């Protein structure tokens, strides 16, 4: 690690950071409607984004700074076992092709802003809706924190903020400034800010990866030397080489499958989806988003390159930023660091908006202020988005980074328990609302208990050098909890149906899941129960016909 501050890299980093900050504030006027004081406008960008904007927004949402830092860091620490992220991002797209268009249609028909809105409308249960909302907020908080961890890793490698003996405020001042800027333009511009910045973020990331995958291997003597160096490291460590041992294959497979099922349960994934202007935009995006998986596979190889380059760091999250500083000219190091930093801002903004929407629509409006106006909803959502980011910042500053990683995977365990209510509800009304709530509770309790009860020795499946939280003796804890959730839900549904337990009122119809209700010229009718949801009107849709990309 270089001593002192890397001035050239810092200057380039600041240039891009200032540029996206300006874009973030200008985004408030980008595609804004005359009446922008409602959650459709602030929290969903007016539901007006076309194919390419949605593609960049979803890419910026799902492929985060932490992906840029943590996936190759996992390869650096564990070998090929860290590649589990690549197959799960491939598995997820055929899965979401089957249900996201249905969710988009029914949400636009009834003006749903969150997954909890849909669950409440489908099953007529505010209790189940509350459970989904609380789960979404809990799972999102550490995810936001990990975006700030990505920024902090870059700042540490650049030497910004002082050494370990520096006053904590001075040391963390750059992170505090970045947080303040993020909070300000998210509050001002809503979802339009990350949507606009996502263009810059993804362009920088693709440039950095294209250069890294060619330039660094040339400097290191080629991929043969890179893989040999990595194999030697893991062989000497007693991990058996690059690939995980046979007993680790089940853990690898369950982690990939469970992660695939969980990814689009996260509120920020759904928020980006519902911002699109038509059902066909969603369908097209599920076919072109795998391009990001190709990028992720190349990105993961940086972990092996860090080993071959002799990078030695105590905190594995610093491995890739340190590799960039060691291998690239200072000016391009600044570009790479800007890609990571901006890659943190986009998802952090979307996540905070998604969590705020859940609180406003499904806690504040449903339980505290049922008669809240659209303007009041927007104001509360803006304030809560700030509080969510403050909580994430406290999490980063006060918690050990290893613990933060554990909490992130715990978030995956939690959010997976909403799958039966959300995805199941999109295809059938058979599940009983009380059974879904009981199944959710069992999955949450079991998953949380096992995640913290699992001793580190059970993580040996990924090799002696691995530290993979969330892996128990029978594989990924989230998937085990999910299976228990489904079993409890099915058994209790059979019992409750047999005793004719009262069912909730379904405000949706089968046609709602198939119609492209948000396209220009298609009438959108709001039932009384969702009259305040601000679904798109004919006039609003027609006025945006020219906005499609």
Average pLDDT over residues 404-416: 77
Contact 364, 372 (CB under 8 A): yes
Round to the nearest angstrom and report the end-to-end CA distance of the chain.
44
pLDDT band at 461 (very low <50, low <70, confident <90, very high): very low
Average pLDDT over residues 240-269: 83
> Among candidates 351, 193, 191, which has minimal Cα distance to 267?
351
Q: Is the pLDDT of residue 33 over 80?
A: no
Minimum mean pLDDT range among 157-166, 225-234, 263-272, 435-444: 157-166
112-164 pLDDT tens trace: 999 999 999 999 999 999 999 999 998 988 888 878 877 888 888 887 755 55
Q: Is the pLDDT of residue 414 over 50?
A: yes
Average pLDDT over residues 176-181: 82
> Among candidates 393, 516, 406, which has minimal Cα distance to 453?
406
Longest CA pairwise span in the chain (Å): 72
Q: What is the mean pLDDT of the chain?
A: 82
pLDDT band at 531 (very low <50, low <70, confident <90, very high): very low
pLDDT band at 526 (very low <50, low <70, confident <90, very high): very low
Q: Strand, helix or coil at 161?
A: coil
Q: What is the DSSP string of 365-416?
A: IIII-TT--HHHHHHHHHHHHHHHHHHHHHHHHHS-HHHHHHHHHHHHHHHH
Average pLDDT over residues 78-90: 84
The reported pLDDT for the residue numbered 536 is: 41
Q: Is the pLDDT of residue 1 over 80?
A: no
pLDDT band at 255 (very low <50, low <70, confident <90, very high): confident
The reported pLDDT for the residue numbered 302 is: 92
The reported pLDDT for the residue numbered 473 is: 58
pLDDT band at 543 (very low <50, low <70, confident <90, very high): very low
Q: Which domains does the chain have, with CATH numbers?
A: 7-220+264-428 (1.20.1730.10)
Q: Is the pLDDT of residue 19 over 80?
A: yes
CA angle 62, 6, 399 (to 5 degrees): 50
Distance between CA atoms of residues 155 and 175, nearest Å: 8
The reported pLDDT for the residue numbered 455 is: 52
Average pLDDT over residues 183-197: 87
With a pLDDT cut of 90, the percent of the chain lying above it is 34
pLDDT band at 496 (very low <50, low <70, confident <90, very high): very high
pLDDT band at 463 (very low <50, low <70, confident <90, very high): very low
Q: Is the pLDDT of residue 168 over 60?
A: no
Match 């830092």 to its residue by tokens: 69
pLDDT band at 45 (very low <50, low <70, confident <90, very high): confident
Q: Which one-letter DSSP state was computed for residue 112?
A: -
The reported pLDDT for the residue numbered 381 is: 92
Average pLDDT over residues 408-421: 89
Q: What is the DSSP string of 511-529?
A: GGGT--TTSTT---PPPGG
- Of residues 221 and 178, more confidently modeled: 221
The reported pLDDT for the residue numbered 135 is: 96
pLDDT band at 34 (very low <50, low <70, confident <90, very high): low
pLDDT band at 32 (very low <50, low <70, confident <90, very high): low
Contact 468, 441 (CB under 8 A): no
Q: Is the pLDDT of residue 44 over 80?
A: yes
Phi-psi region of 521 (alpha: psi -120 to 50; beta: other; left: phi over 0): left
* Token digits of residue 425: 């509800």
* Token digits of residue 111: 């003006």
Its sign, for the CA torsion 197, 200, 203, 204, is negative
Distance between CA atoms of residues 266 and 358, nearest Å: 11
Q: Is the pLDDT of residue 305 over 90?
A: yes
Average pLDDT over residues 267-274: 90
The reported pLDDT for the residue numbered 388 is: 87
The reported pLDDT for the residue numbered 450 is: 85
Minimum mean pLDDT range among 235-249, 289-303, 379-393: 235-249
The reported pLDDT for the residue numbered 500 is: 93
Average pLDDT over residues 47-75: 81
Q: Which residues contact 150 (CB under 8 A, 6 or more apart)?
A: 64, 65, 66, 68, 69, 317, 340, 341, 343, 344
Q: Is the pLDDT of residue 539 over 70?
A: no
Q: Is the pLDDT of residue 534 over 70?
A: no
The reported pLDDT for the residue numbered 228 is: 92
Q: Is the pLDDT of residue 456 over 60?
A: no
Q: What is the pTM of this model?
A: 0.86
pLDDT band at 441 (very low <50, low <70, confident <90, very high): very high
The reported pLDDT for the residue numbered 167 is: 53
Distance between CA atoms of residues 508 and 277, nearest Å: 20
Q: Is the pLDDT of residue 504 over 80?
A: yes
């Amino acid at each position: 690690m270089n001593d002192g501050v890397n001035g050239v890299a810092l200057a380039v980093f600041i240039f891009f950071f200032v540029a996206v900050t300006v874009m973030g504030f200008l985004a408030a006027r980008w595609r804004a409607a005359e009446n922008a004081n409602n959650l459709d406008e602030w929290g969903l960008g007016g539901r007006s984004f076309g194919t390419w904007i949605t593609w960049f927004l979803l890419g910026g949402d799902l492929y985060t700074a932490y992906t840029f830092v943590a996936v190759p860091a996992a390869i650096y620490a564990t070998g090929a076992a860290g590649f589990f992220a690549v197959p799960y991002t491939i598995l997820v797209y055929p899965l979401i092709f089957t249900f996201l268009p249905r969710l988009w249609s029914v949400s636009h028909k009834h003006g749903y802003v969150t997954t909890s809105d849909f669950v409440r409308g489908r099953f007529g249960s505010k209790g189940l809706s509350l459970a989904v909302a609380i789960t979404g907020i809990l799972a999102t908080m550490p995810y936001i924190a990990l975006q700030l961890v990505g920024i902090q890793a870059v700042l540490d490698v650049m030497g910004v903020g002082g050494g370990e003996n520096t006053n904590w405020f001075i040391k963390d001042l750059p992170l505090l400034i970045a947080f303040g800027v993020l909070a300000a333009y998210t509050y001002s511009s809503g979802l339009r800010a990350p949507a606009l910045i996502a263009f810059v973020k993804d362009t920088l990331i693709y440039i950095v990866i294209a250069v890294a995958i060619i330039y660094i291997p040339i400097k290191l003597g080629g991929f043969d030397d890179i893989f040999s160096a990595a194999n030697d490291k893991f062989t000497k460590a007693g991990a058996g080489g690059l690939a995980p041992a046979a007993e680790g294959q089940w853990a690898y497979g369950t982690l990939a499958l469970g992660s695939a099922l969980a990814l689009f349960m996260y509120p920020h994934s759904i928020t980006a989806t519902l911002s699109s202007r038509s059902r066909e935009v969603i369908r097209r995006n599920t076919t072109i988003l795998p391009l990001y998986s190709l990028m992720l596979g190349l990105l993961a190889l940086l972990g092996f390159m860090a080993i071959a380059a002799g990078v030695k760091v105590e905190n594995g999250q610093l491995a890739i930023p340190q590799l960039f500083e060691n291998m690239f000219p200072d000016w391009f190091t600044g570009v790479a660091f800007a890609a990571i930093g901006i890659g943190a801002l986009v998802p952090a903004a979307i996540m905070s908006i998604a969590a705020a929407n859940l609180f406003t629509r499904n806690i504040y409006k449903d339980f505290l202020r049922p008669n809240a106006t659209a303007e009041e909803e927007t104001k509360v959502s803006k304030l809560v988005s700030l509080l969510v980011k403050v909580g994430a910042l406290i999490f980063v500053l006060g918690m050990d980074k290893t613990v933060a990683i554990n909490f992130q995977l715990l978030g995956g365990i939690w959010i997976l328990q909403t799958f039966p209510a959300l995805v199941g509800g999109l295809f059938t009304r058979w599940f009983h609302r009380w059974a879904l709530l009981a199944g959710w509770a069992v999955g949450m309790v079991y998953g949380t208990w096992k995640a913290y009860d699992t001793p580190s020795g059970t993580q040996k499946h990924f090799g002696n050098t691995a530290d993979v939280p969330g892996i128990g003796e029978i594989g990924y804890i989230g998937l085990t909890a999910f299976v228990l959730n489904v079993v409890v839900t099915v058994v209790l549904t059979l019992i409750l149906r047999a005793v004719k337990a009262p069912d909730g009122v379904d405000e949706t119809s089968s046609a709602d899941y198939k119609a492209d209700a948000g396209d220009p010229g298609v009438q959108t009718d709001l039932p009384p129960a969702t009259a305040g949801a601000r679904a798109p009107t004919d006039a609003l849709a027609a006025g945006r016909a020219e906005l499609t990309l």
